[in-house]
Structures are given as C-alpha cells and as structure tokens.
C-alpha cells in the first residue's frame, strides 16, 4: 500500500487530488455536535494543500436514499473544515454535476473544495457493479490522483471507496495508515496481557469479533445491552432488559470455548436497573436501583453496569499491556447511567499499556464524558471497520488501495 508520503515525494503541485474522507459527523440541524472525524482527516488535507495540490474532498453523511436531501448536506462539514484549515474551502452543490465540475476547475494550487454528499447519487452505494462503476468513472474525471483517508467507510464496497481508486493512481492518507498500523498491533505480535472490553446494544453485532478474540485475547469484559444475553445464558432473570434470545446458543458456546481456551470471560456482577428507559433529551433524574446481576427484577431493565462491576473491570484492565474497547457499558447519554462507561474509559487512561478506543459510540462517549483524547493510545474513527478488520474480513477500501 503506497502512502501519502510517497505521493508528496513525487510532487503534487497543480495536480487534482481526490481525498475520500469520512466527514460523517453527527448533526443537530446544521450544527456539528462532534467534529472528531473532520479533525482526523485534517493532516492529510493540509499536507496536500501546502504541497500545492488542488484538493477535492468527498464523503458521505448519513443514509440518504440516493437523492439530494438537505438534512444530509455536507455544507456544515465543509464550513468546519475551512475553519480548521484557516482557509476558504469551496463547496460544490452536487457530486459530479455542473457545480462539481466548475468548482474543481476553478481551484488554484493549494486550494481545497468539498463535494456534496456522495450518497446523493445512487451509484455510490449501488450493489450493481455497472451502476457503481459508471459513477466512479464520473468521479475519476474530477481528479488525477486518489488518496483514501476515510477509514470509517473502508468496509463498504462503494464507488468512491472501492471502484474509484482502481481508476486512478492511489495512496493511503495519514489516517488510514495510522488506523491500519494500530489494528496490526491488535492482531499481529500482540503485547500481553491483551484485554478486550465489549459493550453496546446487540450481542449479534459482536459475535464474529468475539469468535476471533477467543483465540487471541487473554480477557474479555462484557457490558452494555449485549451483557444481558450472556446473563440469560447463565440462567439469570434479566427482566425487561435488552435480550436477543436467538443468540443464547451462540453465547453459551462462546462461554464454553472461553473456558476451554483459558480466556477469562468476565460478566457484570451488579447492574443499575429501572422500570423506565431514561429521557435522553431532558436528562431528567432516573433514580435507578443497583441490584446483583442474578437478581434483576422481572419488571425492570438493566441500563448500566453497577459499582462493583466498575471496580472489577478496572482491576481486570489494570495490568493490561494491550487494550481494545468497543461499545459503551450503559446508556452513557444519560448522567445516571454514564458511570460504567466512564469507569472503563478512566481505566484505559490509567493503563500503562497500549489502549485503543474502537470508534463509534465508544469514541463519542470519550468526548461526551470530557476525557482528553490524547490520554488514549488511539481513538479509531471507524467502529464498524475496526470490528470487521479484527474479525479477519477483507475490507474493500483497503484491498483497493493495496492493488
């Protein structure tokens, strides 16, 4: 895989460089609530612009239905990128139409433009190879060189991620190079003890990665909504907690494999419960009750790990040489259920090992709860991509850059 440093050494002045970024930021109307993904691509864009390239940045945002939708416009992201660069960023109001062509044509050396949301064109996400290829051909007409730096999208076989780099000289940007380097530390020559903390809502989302980790990790700490399927598999009452009953056989088999392989699989010993899901808008007090993990009332729902589990998980993370964390321990968006997630984050901060926050809600939680991002070894920009890499899958966007 060629990197951006090789591209810069070859010279980019005057060249149109297409940067596939991940500007898929959360929005409250037109207000960006977390600009982490924009800041992540900044080193690549800045280096290209300073070297005299005519930089064309493209990304998706949300899941529009293959047609323009103002709610998913990248205009706010383009404006924020300009603020971070300290320079004007031009914005094209389409992806491959008149506005895109005129905006790119009008770029001078060192200038940056952002195209409108790629998913406003059905060809971006089409499962039809010909339709996707046709869109990639039009995108290729806007550039001389391709730089892949949208790690959060590399697990998608989309036109701008998979087809486009096959049509242009292609290089990995700084973010993708960093992300791949980090993931190799989690899969090749891992420093031990290797501890993985998994949370989030659905155990089905994590089954494949658990399957792989049972042959690699020394400890697995399970929290979040997915923990209740494990607790149910142990025969515990879980009340009205999030439960995937159809996954109980798989979870049972994984617990048996963990014991056989000598992998310590740690489940909550106490949880915070309530009869009602908290109001995440008003943040009204929820007044939860703490109960033992095997004593959840039949009419109540587990919404966070309890104080004893927080201490337990912190102790299991304390001696780790390598830590990977993906998924919150509870409903961290509400202050009454944020302590479990906060405890795991703090344990990573206190760790002397190499710590990786695996993107998605975990990365959002770190920022929401006020932690210094520099206190972690790495915060990934792609939760889904990170998990699929750890599952051993071939990621289309990385494969295209390696060809």
Helical (H) or strand (E) element with 46: helix 36-50
- 367 belongs to the catalytic site: no
Per-residue tokens: 110: 């060192």
What gap in Å lies between CA 246 and CA 203, rounded to an integer?
A: 10
- 156 belongs to the catalytic site: no
E-assigned strand segments in 45-149: 54-58, 89-91, 112-114, 145-148
Given the residues 360, 382, 383, 397, the one annotated as active site: 360
- What burial class does residue 279 get, using C-beta atoms within 10 Å of its C-beta: 0-12 exposed, 13-18 middle, 19+ buried? exposed
Given the residues 37, 132, 156, 219, the one annotated as active site: 37
What is the rounded end-to-end Cα distance, in angstroms, of the chain?
Answer: 7
Given the residues 167, 202, 216, 234, the one annotated as active site: 202
What gap in Å lies between CA 191 and CA 319, rounded to an integer?
A: 12
E-assigned strand segments in 81-216: 89-91, 112-114, 145-148, 170-172, 194-198
What gap in Å lies between CA 31 and CA 120, rounded to an integer?
A: 20
Length of the chain: 403
Whether omega for the bond prior to residue 71 falls within 30 degrees of 0, making it cis, is no
Query: DSSP per residue over 268-334, as a string?
Result: -SEEEEESS---TTT------EEEETT---TT-EEEEE-HHHHHHHHHHHTT-SEEEEES-SS-TTS
What gap in Å lies between CA 81 and CA 23, rounded to an integer?
A: 9
Helical (H) or strand (E) element with 390: helix 383-390
Q: Running DSSP on this structure, what letter comes out for residue 335?
A: G
Q: Would you say the C-alpha torsion 247, 248, 250, 251 has a positive or negative sign?
A: positive
What gap in Å lies between CA 244 and CA 50, rounded to an integer?
A: 51
- On whether the CB atoms of residues 92 and 77 are closer than 8 A, the answer is no
User: Which residues are catalytic, by number?
Assistant: 37, 202, 360, 384
């Amino acid at each position: 895989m060629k990197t951006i440093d090789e591209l810069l050494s070859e010279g980019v002045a005057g060249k149109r460089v297409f940067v596939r970024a991940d500007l898929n930021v959360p929005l409250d109307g037109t207000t960006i609530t977390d600009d982490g993904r924009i800041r992540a691509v900044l080193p690549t864009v800045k280096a290209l612009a300073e070297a005299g390239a005519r930089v064309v940045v493209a990304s998706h945002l949300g899941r529009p239905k293959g047609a323009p939708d103002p709610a998913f416009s990248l205009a706010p992201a383009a404006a924020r990128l300009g603020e971070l660069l300290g320079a004007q960023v031009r914005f094209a109001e389409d992806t491959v139409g008149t506005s895109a062509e005129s905006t790119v044509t009008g770029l001078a050396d060192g200038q940056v433009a952002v195209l409108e949301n790629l998913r406003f064109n059905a060809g971006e996400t089409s499962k039809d190879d010909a339709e996707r290829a046709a869109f990639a051909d039009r995108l290729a007409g806007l550039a001389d060189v391709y730089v892949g730096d949208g790690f959060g999208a590399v697990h998608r076989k989309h036109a701008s991620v998979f087809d486009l780099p096959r049509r242009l000289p292609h290089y990995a940007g700084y973010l993708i190079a960093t992300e791949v380097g980090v993931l190799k530390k989690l899969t090749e020559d891992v420093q031990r003890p290797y501890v993985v903390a998994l949370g989030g809502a659905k155990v089905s989302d994590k089954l494949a990665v658990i399957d792989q980790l049972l042959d690699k990790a020394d400890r697995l700490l399970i929290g979040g909504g997915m923990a209740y399927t494990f607790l149910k598999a142990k025969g515990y009452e879980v009340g009205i907690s999030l439960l995937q009953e159809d996954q109980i056989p798989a979870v049972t088999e994984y617990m048996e494999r963990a014991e056989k392989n000598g992998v310590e699989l740690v489940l909550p010993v106490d949880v915070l419960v309530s009869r009602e899901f908290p109001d995440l808008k008003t943040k009204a007090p929820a007044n939860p009750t703490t109960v033992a993990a095997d004593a959840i009332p039949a009419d109540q729902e587990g919404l966070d790990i309890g104080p004893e589990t927080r201490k337990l998980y912190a102790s299991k993370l304390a001696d780790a040489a390598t830590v990977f964390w993906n998924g919150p321990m509870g409903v961290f968006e509400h202050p009454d259920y944020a302590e479990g997630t906060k405890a795991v984050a703090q344990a990573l901060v206190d760790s002397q090992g190499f710590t990786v926050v695996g993107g998605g809600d975990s990365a959002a939680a770190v920022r929401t709860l006020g932690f210094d991002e520099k206190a972690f070894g790495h915060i990934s920009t792609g939760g889904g991509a990170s998990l699929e890499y750890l599952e051993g899958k071939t990621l289309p966007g990385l494969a295209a850059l390696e060809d």
